[in-house]
């Protein structure tokens, strides 16, 4: 086959790949995106955080998101609600410490991801669907990829720089032996879309609901409403909590019935299609960058779904990498560790503090504490809204220490 050469090849057309492609074609580079599936395709990860609107705006994608929101059933979102054995708490993202948007959407990812990918294509990125990257070869001045197309034919493509945005496919971590186990224990999620049938007028559709299991505090449910009367509902627990070989929908319904608040709220629910499950999704890597490549979004590290930080981290990674790749391609000397890995990691580590403290129960006690100081609540709200890179926020800058002090106050 002919030698195909690009400035940048991106593996995967999910949010991180599509936004990185859009930003790089704006700089004038020839960009090819190789995507294993056809779009629209299902993906989990439906509740966005306001921080990610900043990155969508940078890529010029915000107007099209607002225009498409109503027809596609995307739900306006302004916060997070929590329920634990009758205790209720609610965080309003518009009341937050950090500057920036305080609202966003909950999206059906099949449509959301297609919007972003179509926009990248309109801006001039080439996307090849049903093309799977199967091998990687390092070159002095770039890299060569082996690709299999929909006819199962293999061909090669070279690029001066490769961005791995393959999500849970984790293409380069696997091919280059960069994988590292996550610090978090293996957890599984069972989930489905439902006609939610919610009639309770006190239920706020503008917020994701995070619901703690009545007995096991490390088990939690999400209820992500969309604007068309449907919702994404899921439960997360260690695999041993789920019956072996049980149907995912049976498992999920069984868990929903264990929580009196959810069982009542969702008593009229009707599942749409089959439920799905995913297990062992938390992952880490030895390095986010290497010779002429970088890992974006989930292809790098994935923490945990509890605070809906996945797409925000994915878009942050795209927003950080694009100007650096631009400079690198123009021949400048770029330090990807200092300017990409470290700043990206700082926000991920902030989220990690709060995710760990969620599972050991300490952060749950902070969330459900009713006497919270208003300023402190705004600082926590900013982090839950995704502003985990704002080091003016003391709960970002010194997350472990500030959280520990707050926990002792809330538990006393
Ligand atoms: P993806 O969106 O996964 O895109 C990767 C693309 O690469 C895919 O389209 C795939 O087909 C393609 N690909 C893979 N391998 C290859 C290959 N070899 N060749 C070519 N293409 C390839 N995040 C949130 O923000 N909010 C949430 O509410 C949320 N909930 C979650 C719940 C659960 C249970 C889990 C597990 C995750 C959740 N997430 C959530 C995380 C979210 O799903 C991801 O962080 C997000 O999708 C990452 O985007 P990405 O662009 O990195 O990868």
Q: Is the reported ipTM for this assembly greater than 0.90?
A: yes
CA of 343 to the centre of ligand 1 (A): 21
> What CATH number did the domain enclosing 332 receive?
3.50.50.60
For residues 290-298, average pLDDT:
97
Shared domain for 274 and 325, answered yes or no, is: no
Q: pLDDT tens for residues 259-287?
A: 999 999 999 999 998 999 999 999 999 99
Shared domain for 68 and 125, answered yes or no, is: yes
C-alpha 410/C-alpha 412 separation (Å) is: 6
The number of folded domains in the chain is: 3
pLDDT of 294 = 98
Alpha-carbon dihedral 391, 395, 398, 404, rounded to 10 degrees: 180
Element (H, E) at 409: helix 399-411
Give the nearest ligand 1 atom to 15 CA: 51
Strands 154-164 and 293-295 turn out to be: parallel
Shared domain for 108 and 165, answered yes or no, is: yes
Shared domain for 55 and 152, answered yes or no, is: yes
Domain residues for the domain of 391 are: 361-411
Q: Is the minimum distance from the CB of 317 to ligand 1 under 6 angstroms?
A: no
Domain-embedded: residue 89: no
Q: pLDDT tens for residues 41-56?
A: 999 999 999 999 999 9
CA of 242 to the centre of ligand 1 (A): 23
Q: Is the minimum distance from the CB of 189 to ligand 1 under 6 angstroms?
A: yes
CA of 15 to the centre of ligand 1 (A): 8
Domain-embedded: residue 85: no
Name the domain boundary from 316, 346, 376.
Answer: 346
For residues 245-270, average pLDDT:
96
Beta bridge partners, 11, equal 34, 164
pLDDT of 3 = 59
Shared domain for 12 and 65, answered yes or no, is: yes
Query: Which one of 14, 117, 222 would you pick to mutate in the ligand 1 pocket, going by the greatest count of ligand atoms within 8 A of its CB?
Result: 14
C-alpha 156/C-alpha 107 separation (Å) is: 35
Shared domain for 273 and 326, answered yes or no, is: no
Shared domain for 256 and 318, answered yes or no, is: no
Query: Which one of 120, 305, 321 would you pick to mutate in the ligand 1 pocket, going by the greatest count of ligand atoms within 8 A of its CB?
Result: 305
Shared domain for 51 and 170, answered yes or no, is: yes
- Tally: H helices and E strands in the chain: 15, 19
Domain-embedded: residue 354: no
User: Does pTM surpass 0.95?
Assistant: yes
Shared domain for 255 and 395, answered yes or no, is: no
Query: Which one of 15, 40, 77, 166 would you pick to mutate in the ligand 1 pocket, going by the greatest count of ligand atoms within 8 A of its CB?
Result: 166
Shared domain for 290 and 159, answered yes or no, is: yes
pLDDT of 369 = 96
Shared domain for 105 and 132, answered yes or no, is: yes
Q: Is the minimum distance from the CB of 311 to ligand 1 under 6 angstroms?
A: yes
């Amino acid at each position: 086959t002919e030698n195909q050469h690009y400035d940048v090849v991106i593996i995967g057309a999910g949010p991180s790949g599509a936004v990185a492609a859009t930003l790089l074609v704006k700089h004038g580079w020839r960009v090819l995106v190789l995507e294993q599936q056809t779009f629209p395709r299902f993906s989990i990860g439906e509740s966005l955080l306001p921080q990610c609107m900043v990155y969508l705006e940078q890529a010029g994608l915000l107007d099209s998101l607002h225009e498409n929101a109503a027809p596609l059933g995307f739900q306006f979102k302004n916060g997070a609600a929590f329920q634990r054995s009758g205790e209720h708490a609610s965080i309003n993202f518009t009341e937050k410490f950090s500057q920036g948007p305080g609202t966003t959407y909950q999206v059906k990812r099949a449509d959301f991801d297609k919007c972003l990918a179509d926009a990248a294509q309109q801006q001039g990125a080439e996307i090849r669907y049903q093309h799977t990257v199967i091998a990687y070869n390092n070159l002095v001045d770039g890299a060569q990829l082996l690709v299999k197309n929909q006819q199962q034919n293999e061909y090669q493509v070279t690029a001066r720089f490769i961005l791995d945005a393959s999500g849970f496919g984790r293409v380069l971590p696997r091919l280059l032996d960069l994988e590292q186990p996550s610090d978090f224990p293996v957890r599984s999620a069972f989930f489905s879309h439902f006609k939610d049938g919610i009639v309770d007028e006190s239920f706020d559709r503008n917020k994701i609901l995070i619901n703690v299991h009545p007995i096991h505090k490390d088990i939690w449910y999400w209820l992500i409403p969309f604007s068309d009367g449907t919702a994404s509902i899921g439960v997360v627990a260690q695999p041993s909590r789920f019956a072996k070989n049980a149907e995912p929908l049976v498992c999920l319904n069984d868990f929903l019935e264990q929580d009196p608040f959810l069982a009542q709220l969702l008593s009229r629910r009707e599942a749409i299609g089959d439920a799905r499950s995913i297990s062992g999704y938390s992952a880490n890597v030895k390095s986010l960058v290497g010779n002429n490549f970088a890992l974006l979004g989930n292809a790098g590290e994935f923490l945990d779904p509890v605070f809906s930080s996945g797409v925000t981290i994915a878009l942050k990674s795209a927003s950080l990498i694009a100007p650096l790749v631009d400079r690198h391609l123009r021949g400048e000397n770029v330090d990807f560790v200092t300017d990409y890995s470290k700043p990206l990691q700082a926000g991920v580590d902030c989220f990690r503090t709060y995710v760990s403290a969620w599972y050991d129960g300490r952060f749950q006690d902070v969330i459900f504490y009713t006497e919270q100081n208003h300023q402190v609540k705004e600082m926590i709200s900013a982090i839950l809204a995704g502003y985990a890179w704002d080091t003016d926020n003391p709960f970002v800058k010194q997350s472990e220490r500030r959280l520990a002090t707050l926990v002792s106050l809330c538990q006393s």
